[in-house]
Amino acid sequence: MPDFFRHITRLFLREAKLVVQDHSLLLTLLIAPLLYAFFYGSIYSYKVEEKVLLAVADDDKSELSRTFLQQLSKMQIVEVVGARDLKDAQEKMYYGTCQGYLYIPGGVQKKVLALQQGDIVLAVNAARFLPSSELAGAITTLALTVGAGVRLKYNEMKGLNSQMAMRETQPVNLDYRPMYNTRSSYGAFLLPGLLALILQQTLLIGLAESMALDKQKKNVPEMLHMGGGSLSATLWGKGLFYLVLFLCYAFFFLTVNYSTLDIPFRGHAFDVAVAFIIFFFTLIPLGIWLGTLFPSQLMAAQMMVFSTYPVFLIAGYAWPYESLPVPLQWLSSMVPTTPFLRVYQSVVQTGATLADNVPSVLHLLALTAFYMLLALLGLRRLNKQQQSLSL
Amino acid sequence: MMLRSIINITIREWKRILTLPEHCIVLLLLPPLVCFLYGYIYHKQFARELPVAIWDESNSPLSRKFTFMLEQTESIHITQQIHNEATIEQLMQRGVIQGAIHFPARMDDHIKSRQPIYVTLYTNTAAVVTGKLIYKDAAKVLITAGSGVILQKLMKTGMPQGKAMALVQPIRLTSYLLYNPQFSYLQYLVPGLIAVALQMMVIMVTVLALNLEAQRGTLPELTVMANGSASSVLLGKGLAHLSVGWLHYILVTAIVYPVFAGGRMGGSWALFTLFTLLIMGCISIGFMVSAIVSDVMVACDLGLFYTSPAFVFSGFTFPRWAMPWYDQYYAWLMPFTPFLDGFFKVYFMELPLHYVYKETGQLLIYIVITFPLALFFLQRRMNKLKLQHA
């Protein structure tokens, strides 16, 4: 047993030296995670989008339309841009100076006073998903509120006292309680997952590059020799450097980044720590196995770059797992990101415990065993190949 | 003479693209794979049938009617009946439900006795996409149902239906969700994801276009072929990479966009122009890095760090104006940013080219700045090589 630890220590030091000497590994493993975390994180630091530009063409120019527009300009989501007429408003949207337009035709107030429905038109550029949906939702709410105001006045005119008139105005109300992200902000949703993804991808790219470099330089027999001939000592000796480094990063992200970006942390630190340890124990063999497949360090870097978006998109974070086609659900289940993000999101954002996520934890553990086996087989194959070449 | 050497270099570069795995896999194998994968992920277009619980303390005809209406929506699927708020939290934490709706006790009686009632909607907004979908559908149902209650009350007073309707909704807002009326993720995300992947591919290969020649000892041969002219090398290689870019354009506009994202077959002249400018910008940037950085691994890493953030910084998923000012400036370092602004106009909005004059001008700036720099550094390297040989 002491021999096993001695071998692991030697390989750990060897890996540290390799990383320090290789510019690319140094950049990927020591600079990129920190730079990315602050860089990407800062994008969403305001969390929600505000002041979406909306052109307004008011042909009614009545008291009602002015009240409507006054209320509109008070909304955080909207920044009103004046337009001469409907055509001008449309052109503004076509040139990208606004995300949509609101048109109030002449005679709206007249119709409302005559107890007829007044029509107004909202057109939003739904090709831009987030601002347009926010805009449409906010203006719909405003139209309903103004409508309720008209009803309130009518009820008061009918002789009801203000309390009764108020009750009659809106008999059924919606009380919306968005849980765990009270402002329903995109930033608060995306940031925790993004930070975990940065850790995952920089670890995988760095480790796969390092393993591919060892393969390229035919260093696998030497590595195995340092590991006392034990494949698992070689795997974990090489991997230990990444485990220590990325656990430090995870700690840093969950403390410094979470506090600077103002991300709420609702779970227990112990649960998150355990989740991260299992996650890294899965990623390390996966990274080593992937590295054994690439012919060179360059190819490893080139190919791994293109894994980031697909892995994130099929992990069930940005798009529900159940809404993926079945073959992609199978593929998603083979990626450690899927069960990890489920546990991590549940613990960090909703305050759940590991006990609430037993199936996902078991899933992650099964993947650990699976990728460990693949990594050991990959190392054995490379060792045999390179030994026979040296003979 | 120069034209001939450019053509020869183009042919030579095409051969390299076809034979070098670092070029061939990224430029020819990955694009169809990535395109089809992205199309397939969002194949279902919408997230449907999300698990939602009902907490019905009213247990009345009205609450059952509301429940039925909620079940009829696209995103809501009632999977549980629960009896308290604590269960909602527990089930959300375990990922069993994404939302819950509470009908208060004696709901019908309160409405009849002019007491306003509050139907509560809970969503797990830690997952904002599903949370918003459930909210959208639930709000629509409850607003419609609430309007129905007002209408009935007014008509009971003897008011004619037309007038009652006008009081229920005095201001009728007609909303047009242009260019993606159903908020389809497929239509919205896939074209942009594919465009960003293609620009990444072009840059990841062109950052190796010159330094890999030096590393593998083929630069002297290339110098001879170009008669020592860096411009012949860059134009020859650039043409080869541009033609690959056009192949990508054919792939996406003839197959991927029409099949997966409901796009127009073949795109449009404006889209072709914008795409060509993006590819030319990416090629120029890649050449510049390749001419300056001789270590291929470092060049590859620079390509990686430069291209990876393009999607999020471009404002595709989160608008640029909502980012801090320094991120907005950073976004302009990448040609994908002006391309995306123009892409919204020519692809989604199907507008003619004159609406993207600003974006085409911005894309040209990337070429005008980086191409001469690439030319300068490559010429210097080639001159040094010449001197060494002399």
Instruction: Calculate the average pLDDT of chain B.
Output: 91
Candidate from B111, B167, B179 with C-beta closest to A154: B167
Range of the domain at B148: 50-168
Q: Are residues B19 and B60 in the same domain?
A: no
**Helix residue ranges, H only, B126-229:** 128-156, 161-168, 185-206, 211-215, 219-225
Handedness of CA A16, A22, A28, A32 (dihedral sign): positive
Is the pLDDT assigned to residue A296 strictly greater than 80? Answer: yes
Domain membership of residue A383 (yes or no) is: yes
In a domain, B175, yes or no: no
Q: What gap in Å lies between CA B31 and CA A306, rounded to an integer?
A: 10
Same domain, residue pair B258 and B125: no
Mutate to test the interface with A, among B76, B208, B301, B347 (most CBs of A within 10 A): B301
- Domain endpoint, select from B168, B197, B221: B168
Specify whether A162 is located in the same domain as A244: no
Position B158 scores a pLDDT of 85
Judged by average pLDDT, the poorest of A51-55, A108-112, A128-132, A232-236 is A128-132
**Does residue B179 fall inside a structural domain?**
no
**Average pLDDT, integer, range A268-293:** 96
CB A171 within 8 Å of CB B109? no
Mutation site, B42, B87, B93, B333, interface A, largest A CB count within 10 A: B93
- In the predicted structure, residue A391 carries a pLDDT above the cut 70: no
What is the rounded distance in angstroms from the CA atom of residue A169 to the CA atom of residue A314?
Answer: 46
CATH number, domain containing residue B133: 3.40.1710.10
Residue A81 corresponds to which tokens in the numbers above? 């841009």
From B183's Cα to the closest Cα of chain A, the distance in A is 7
Mean pLDDT over each residue of chain A, to the nearest integer: 91
Q: Residue B293 falls within a domain, yes or no?
A: yes
CA geometry: angle A236, A239, A244, nearest 5 deg: 115
Band of pLDDT at residue A45, cut at 50, 70 and 90: confident
SS3 B76: strand
Q: What is the pLDDT of residue B143?
A: 87
Q: What ipTM, to 2 d.p.?
A: 0.87
Q: Write the residue in A123, A171, A305 that is nearest to B308 by C-beta.
A: A305
pLDDT score of A155: 84
Contacts of A1 (CB under 8 A, 6+ apart): none
pLDDT band at A189 (very low <50, low <70, confident <90, very high): confident
Give per-residue pLDDT as tens, A61-84.
999 999 999 999 999 889 999 999
- Please say if the pLDDT value at position A181 is more than 90: no
Check A299 against B149: CB less than 8 A apart: no
Please tell me the total count of domains within chain B. 2
Instruction: Quickly list DSSP for A331-347.
Output: HHHTSTHHHHHHHHHHH
Q: What is the residue type of B200?
A: M
Are A77 and A23 in the same domain?
A: no
**Are residue A191 and residue A206 in the same domain, yes or no?**
yes
DSSP state of B160: -
B303 and B286 Cβ atoms separated by less than 8 Å: yes
A92 with A194, same domain: the answer is: no
Is A180 inside any structural domain? Answer: no
Same structural domain, B26 and B66:
no
A171:B49 CB<8 A: no
Tokens read off for B23 = 């070029």
For residues A209 and A354, membership in a common domain is answered with: yes
CB contact under 8 A, A122 and B173: yes
The answer to whether the CB atoms of A173 and B116 lie below 8 A apart is: yes
Judged by CB atoms closer than 8 Å, whether chains meet at A167 and B115 is answered as yes
Q: Is residue A164 part of a domain?
A: yes
Same domain, B155 and B200: no
Alpha-carbon distance B130 to nearest alpha carbon in chain A (angstroms): 8
Strand partners, B101: B54, B121
- The per-residue pLDDT for A244 is 96
State the smallest CA–CA distance between residue B210 and chain A in angstroms.
15
Residue A150: inside a domain: yes
Structure tokens that stand for A194 in this block: 């993004």
Whole-number Å distance between alpha carbons of B45 and B43: 5
Q: Is residue B182 included in any domain, yes or no?
A: no
So what's the pLDDT on residue A168? 79
Same domain, B154 and B61: yes
pLDDT of B311 reads 86
Query: Which residues of chain B have a CB within 8 Å of the CB of A182?
Result: 125
Query: B270 and B296 share a domain?
Result: yes
Q: Is A180 helix (H, G, I), strand (E, B) or coil?
A: coil
Q: Is residue A19 part of a domain?
A: yes
Q: How far is A150 from chain B (nearest CA, A)?
A: 7
User: Phi/psi at B327 (nearest 5 deg)?
Assistant: -70, -35
Q: Which residue of B has its CA nearest to A187?
A: B318
Among A131, A179, A182, the residue with its CB nearest the CB of B92 is A179
Q: Do A323 and B204 touch (CB under 8 A)?
A: no
**Is residue B9 domain-resident?**
yes
With beta carbons under 8 A apart, name residues in chain A contacting B330. 39
Out of B140, B168, B196, a domain closes at: B168
CA distances B24 to A123, B7, B186, B286, B307, Å, are: 45, 20, 28, 16, 19
Minimum mean pLDDT among A170-174, B231-235, B296-300: which range?
A170-174
Residue of chain B with shortest Cα separation from A357: B94
Spatial CB neighbours of A318, under 8 Å, sequence gap ≥ 6: A190, A193, A312, B129
Nearest chain A residue to B22 by CA: give it: A299
Check residues A249 and B127 and name the one with the higher pLDDT: A249
Q: Do B38 and A313 touch (CB under 8 A)?
A: yes
Residue listed under structure tokens 């730079």: A35
With a cut of 70, say whether residue B273 has pLDDT above it: yes
* Dist CA B98 CA B79 (whole Å): 10
What integer pLDDT is reported at residue B390 of this predicted model?
67
Say whether both A32 and A129 belong to one domain: no
- Note whether residue B22 is domain-resident: yes
Give residue A92's pLDDT.
Answer: 95
Q: Which of B343, B313, B318, B342 is nearest to B330 (CA)?
A: B313
Complete edge-to-edge strand list for the sheet that includes strand B171-178 = A78-82, A52-58, A100-104, A118-125, B171-178
**Contact: B21, A295; criterion CB under 8 Å:** yes
- Helices (H) and strands (E) counted in chain A, each on its own, are 18, 5
Per the structure, the complete domain to which residue A235 belongs is given by 2-45+186-390
In a domain, A179, yes or no: no
Confidence at residue B105, expressed as pLDDT on a 0 to 100 scale: 93
Q: Please indicate, yes or no, whether residues A140 and A285 belong to a single structural domain of this protein.
A: no
Residue A222, pLDDT > 80, answer yes
Name the residue with higher pLDDT: B278 or A115.
B278
Residue where a domain terminates, one of A143, A169, A195: A169
| Interface touch B179/A125, C-beta < 8 Å | yes
**Residue B362 located in a structural domain:** yes
CB B369 within 8 A of CB B283: no
Closest partner CB to A328 (pick from B41, B169, B301)? B41
Per-residue pLDDT band at B267 (split at 50, 70, 90):
confident
Q: Given an 8 Å threshold on Cβ–Cβ distance, is B114 in contact with A185?
A: no
Minimum CA–CA partner of A37 in chain B: B309
Sequence-distant (6+) residues with CB within 8 A of A62 are A108, A109, A110
Strands B99-103 and B50-56: parallel
Residues A236 and A121 in one domain: no
Its sign, for the CA torsion A328, A329, A332, A337, is positive
| Tokens (6 digits) for A277 | 């340890």
Residue of A nearest to B345 (CA): A94
The mean pLDDT of A143-152, rounded to a whole number, is 87
Whether residues A95 and B355 touch (CB distance < 8 A) is answered with yes
pLDDT band at B308 (very low <50, low <70, confident <90, very high): confident
On whether the CB atoms of residues B232 and B9 are closer than 8 A, the answer is yes
What is the C-alpha separation between A14 and A26, in angstroms, rounded?
14
- At A250, the amino acid letter reads A
A320: nearest CA partner in chain B = B47
Measured at the CA of A38, the angle between CA A36 and CA A41, to 5 degrees, comes to 95
Residue pairs between chains A and B whose CB atoms are closer than 8 Å: 331
At residue A218, the pLDDT reads 93
**B372 in the same domain as B250:** yes
Residue of A nearest to B107 (CA): A172
pLDDT in the model for residue A157? 85
Give tens-digit pLDDT for B63-97. Answer: 999 999 999 998 899 999 999 999 999 999 998 99
Confidence of residue B257 (pLDDT cuts 50, 70, 90): confident
Banded pLDDT at B45 (limits 50, 70, 90): low
CA dist A79 and A130 (Å) reads: 15
* pLDDT score, position B180: 82
pLDDT on residue A156: 86
Domain-embedded: residue A181: no
Please check whether residues A249 and A281 belong to one and the same domain.
yes
Number of independent structural domains in chain A: 2
Estimate to the nearest angstrom the gap between the alpha carbon of A136 and the chain centroid.
Answer: 24
Range with lowest mean pLDDT among A127-136, B19-28, B182-191: B182-191
| Confidence check: pLDDT of A271 > 80 | yes
**pLDDT tens, B174-219?**
999 898 877 777 778 888 889 999 999 999 999 999 999 999 999 9
On whether both B6 and B111 belong to a single domain, the answer is: no
Query: How far is B212 from B22, CA to CA, in rounded Å?
Result: 10
Q: Decide if B131 and A184 are in contact by the 8 Å CB cutoff.
A: yes
Would you say residue B228 lies in a domain? yes
Report yes or no on whether pTM surpasses 0.80.
yes
Backbone torsions φ then ψ of A106, nearest 5 degrees: -65, 145
Residue B47 has pLDDT above 80, yes or no: no
Residues B216 and B327 in one domain: yes
CB contact under 8 A, B170 and A96: no
Burial status of residue A327 (CB atoms within 10 A of its CB: 0-12, 13-18, 19 or more): exposed
Q: In the structure encoding, which two tokens stand for residue A167, read together? A: 């009750």
Q: Are residues B329 and B351 in the same domain?
A: yes
**Would A178 be classed as within a structural domain?**
no
User: What is the C-alpha separation between B15 and A305, in angstroms, rounded?
Assistant: 24
Q: Which of A108, A134, A169 is the last residue of a domain?
A: A169
Structure tokens, A372: 């460990």
User: Is B324 in the same domain as B222?
Assistant: yes
Shared domain for A32 and A62, answered yes or no, is no
Amino acid at A190: L
What is the C-alpha to C-alpha distance for residues B240 and B229, in angstroms, rounded to an integer?
A: 17
Q: CB–CB of B124 and A350 under 8 A?
A: yes
pLDDT of residue A146: 86
Q: Are residues B29 and B54 in the same domain?
A: no
What is the Cα–Cα distance from A209 to A138, expressed in whole angstroms?
A: 48
Question: Beta partners for A54?
Answer: A80
B311 to chain A: which residues are within 8 Å by CB?
309
Same domain, A39 and A83: no
**Residue with the two structure tokens 């260093």:** A219
- Interchain CB distance below 8 Å, A120 and B115: no
Cβ within 8 Å of residue B198, ≥6 positions away: B31, B245, B248, B252, B279
Answer with the one of B122, B138, B168 that is the final residue of a domain: B168
- Interatomic CA distance for residues B80 and B88, integer angstroms: 10
Lowest mean pLDDT among A260-274, A346-360, B30-44, B367-381: B30-44
Strand partners of residue A102: A56, A122
CATH at residue A86: 3.40.1710.10
Residues A203, A327 within the same domain: yes
